[in-house]
């Protein structure tokens, strides 16, 4: 015997309902907390942070500044090379 075909709309609707039920079951409703409690939590987390010493901070700053300088020079060199290439190919002269 041939099996009766199910309509696609009802099957997809059933799947959507199941997905909604699973989503609701997996995510319990959160309690709404006050602004004061939020900042208490922020303060607690900030106490857990390991802050760098002045010496470490100075060395990190130097590394960042050097990295910025290296990248700036690299971009300038690439840009200048690309400009020179375009001038040569297109025969453009800028006075």
Distance CA 41, CA 27 (A): 22
Cα–Cα dist 54/75, whole Å: 32
pTM attached to this predicted model: 0.51
The whole-number pLDDT of residue 47 equals: 94
Q: How far apart are CA 67 and CA 76, in angstroms?
A: 14
CA 15 to chain centre: 32
pLDDT at residue 94 in the model: 75
31-85 per-position pLDDT tens digit: 778 999 999 999 999 999 999 999 999 999 999 999 999 999 999 999 999 999 9
Per-residue confidence (pLDDT) for residue 91, from 0 to 100: 86
């Amino acid at each position: 015997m041939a099996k009766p075909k199910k309509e696609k709309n009802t099957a997809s609707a059933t799947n959507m309902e199941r997905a909604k039920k699973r989503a609701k079951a997996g995510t319990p409703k959160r309690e709404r907390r006050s602004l004061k409690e939020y900042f208490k939590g922020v303060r607690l987390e900030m106490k857990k942070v390991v802050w760098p010493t002045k010496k470490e901070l100075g060395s990190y700053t130097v590394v960042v500044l050097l990295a910025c300088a290296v990248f700036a020079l690299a971009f300038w060199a690439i840009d200048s090379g690309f400009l020179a290439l375009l001038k040569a190919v297109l025969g453009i002269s800028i006075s």
